[in-house]
Structure 1
Amino acid sequence: MLTAIDHVQLAAPPGTEDALRAFYADALGMTEIPKPPALAANGGCWFQAGAVQLHLGIQSDFHPARKAHPGLRVRGIEAYADRLASHGAKVVWDQDLPGHRRFFSEDPVGNRLEFLEPDTQRDDEPAP
């Protein structure tokens, strides 16, 4: 029986750990967590916020995911979008998921990321 997702693994090209740290720690506000020594030798970095873990693994023939993506639930989505934009990240709002406010962005190596929050607005209020 499945009980939860433990983590999501994304790929990144060699030598991008500093850019990934700047984005995932500084822009997203996640905390870098240590990789086990046997895995640390492979490069990459792991991040956590609450129960959410994202692992960035190094892939020599890296190509960013354009469709596949983690969906990350946030609280205060407008402020979160502003935070990402202030760090130079692209923010693209999408209205296609009923009952949610959401936007898409990309990490520094081009991986697609979705950010969403349940919509608590009244139905007659326009979303941004």
Structure 2
Amino acid sequence: MSFSLDHVQVVVPPSGTDAAARFYGDVVGLERIERPETLGGVGAWFRAGSQELHVSEYEDFAPAPKAHPAFELAGAELDVLAERLAATGAEVRWDERLPGARRFYSFDPAGNRVEFLTRA
């Protein structure tokens, strides 16, 4: 069998889609793509390379304490994004414990942890 990752889904509280869309689209810089109307509900989809990030509203929302998407960026883009996130007031928490990578964690407006990294 051959696998590849198609998408990752994160959930936000009711009425949280607009704030998440601003974060993932405007601040992080992911391309917003069309979400099929046939799915119903509320949410937003984004493209990250050949994978997708799906954001959906969930009535009983609670941010996951460990689960998170991780986005890989090229070299200096990591620092540019860290500065852009910090300028919006988002937390930027650097973590140097992963050998062969530079990375930091931040949080979307709903409190979901998001990792950004570059490999050496």
TM-score > 0.5, shorter chain as reference: yes
Seq. identity, %: 47
Report what 2:90 is aligned to.
Answer: 89
State the TM-score, normalizing by the size of structure 1.
Answer: 0.87
- Work out whether residues 13 and 59 of structure 1, in 8 Å CA contact, stay in contact via their aligned partners in 2: yes
1:7 aligns with 2:7: yes
Structure 1 portions without partners, runs of 5+? 120-128
State the TM-score, normalizing by the size of structure 2.
Answer: 0.92
User: Deviation of residue 51 (structure 1)?
Assistant: 1.4
User: Deviation of residue 103 (structure 1)?
Assistant: 0.3
1:45-124 matches, cutoff 5 A? 45-75=44-74, 76=76, 77-119=78-120
Report what 2:28 is aligned to.
Answer: 28
Q: Aligned with 1:57: secondary structure?
A: strand
| CA deviation string 1:43-74 (max 9, x = no partner) | 01111132131101111000011211111101
Which residue identity does 1:104 align to in structure 2?
Y
> Rg: which structure is higher?
1
Q: Aligned with 1:2: secondary structure?
A: coil
Structure 2 portions without partners, runs of 5+? none
Task: Please give the root-mean-square deviation of Cα atoms over the aligned residues, in Å.
Answer: 1.1
Within 2, Cα distance between the matches of 1:7 and 1:57? 13
Report what 2:41 is aligned to.
Answer: 42
Worse-matched range after superposition: 64-73 or 104-113:
64-73
Q: How many residues are treated as equivalent by the alignment?
A: 118
Structure 1 runs of 4+ aligned residues shifted over 3 Å read: none
